[in-house]
Amino acid sequence: MSRRGELDAIVVGAGAVGGAIALALARDGFEVALIEAREPKPWRAEDDVDLRVVALAPDARDLLHDLGVWTSIASARIGPYRRMRVWDALAPGELAFDAADRGEAALGWIVENKLIQHVLWSALVPDREDQKAAIPGRTFHKNSTLRVYCPAEIAEIDNGVNAVTATLTDGTRLRAKLLVAAEGAESSVRAKLGIAFEGGDYDQRAVVAHVATERAHEGTAWQRFQPGGPLAFLPLADGRCSIVWSLPDAEAARILALDDAAFRAELGCAFDFRLGAVTASTPRAAFPLRLRLAEKYVAGRCLLAGDAAHVVHPLAGQGMNLGFRDARALHATLRAARERGSDIGATHVLRRYERERRSENTLAAQGLDAIERAFGSAFMPLAVARGAGLAAANAIAPLRQALADTAAGRH
């Protein structure tokens, strides 16, 4: 256990990844402080489905189940998908996955980011007034292993040899064996640590909306590769689809400016009318697409996780899944170190996490980048080769299964 007044870990950021890390560590008996700049907006069943959704892989579902929150998520609103279809706009050939091939109920689940964060926050900060300090405008939750400070931000970090000390903007000082930065791509902690975030912009934006179609989505995740970027139709629980349409910046601006009827017509054409006409659509939004990789994950007793460490192209919906794999790997690394009697913030312990996660995340990011560039080209010989490659992968069962296992987080 920690010396008196010293925590095991400080986790910065209560989004999906930071919340999962804090909850996993606290439930395993580690003494944790969670720092969050603003309380998440509550998810409500009567609200429309949030535009930001994620395709959770089976290993991500398993992590949330282990944390005791999956039942709450599944009983609220999720869209399981049992099949996946991938094809190229410029050449014949299609790659198809089906959960039935493995005797499983689903390949994955389409879930609102907001719902995941809401359920994790509710588990971290139970709605019990006797567990909250009476500080107007601020949540301070404490039980035997967890403290939550919100709204709160870190002003200074003293990355010492034997401990790390974080000073909050209100002067509160927290001392711990290690600090985890998981507050997203614009991580202020990463900046304070001087860790470079390398990569580039795709000069694309992902246009997102929810749409109704003439035919049912069939519990299938659909993705069509086109010159300029992929288009995904993801099945929602209410029968609609969530679309993620990656487009060059200028084309995205044009699509955003269309009236609803023109948008639905262009979207249906881009999707090859696989589900018939697009009959209704919500207001659209867009976000820029970037590739970012931290040059390292560890600095002294501080480390990075989730989007603070890596930002990838959304074409395979792997961003949050990679972050949840960071969370699971970190928890396992720290638990093993504790069982050996090691200092959980020692360099050799944190390097073990870094070696495992930085390797996989870099391979995933570069692989997605290569796929996006190859499938985004209109060069016809390359398009023909792409179509043949999809057809070959679909025809070779072991290869098709290996691709499905990688997406599911099975290694």
Beta carbons of 235 and 221 less than 8 angstroms apart: yes
Number of structural domains, the chain?
1
CATH code of residue 403: 3.50.50.60
pLDDT recorded at residue 50: 96
Residue 406 forms part of a structural domain: yes
> Cβ-count burial of 122 within 10 angstroms (0-12 exposed, 13-18 middle, 19+ buried)?
middle
The pLDDT value given to residue 377: 45
Does the residue 139 lie in any domain?
yes
Burial (CB count within 10 angstroms: exposed 0-12, middle 13-18, buried 19+), residue 321: buried
**Residue 345 half-sphere exposure toward CB, CA atoms < 13 A:** 26
Give me the pLDDT at residue 5, please.
62
Is 334 within a domain?
A: yes
Task: Map residue 64 onto helix, strand or coil.
Answer: helix
Domain-located, residue 175: yes
Residue 131, domain extent = 1-79+111-202+290-411
Global pTM reads 0.90
Rounded mean pLDDT for each run of 10 residues along the chain, 411 residues in total: 72 98 96 96 95 94 97 96 87 80 89 97 75 44 80 97 97 97 97 94 95 97 89 96 96 98 97 97 96 97 98 81 97 98 98 96 82 55 49 45 48 49
| 119 within 8 A of 73, measured Cβ to Cβ | yes
Say if 383 falls within a structural domain.
Answer: yes
Q: How far apart are CA 91 and CA 27, in angstroms?
A: 51
Within a domain: residue 158?
A: yes
CA distance 408 to 119: 22
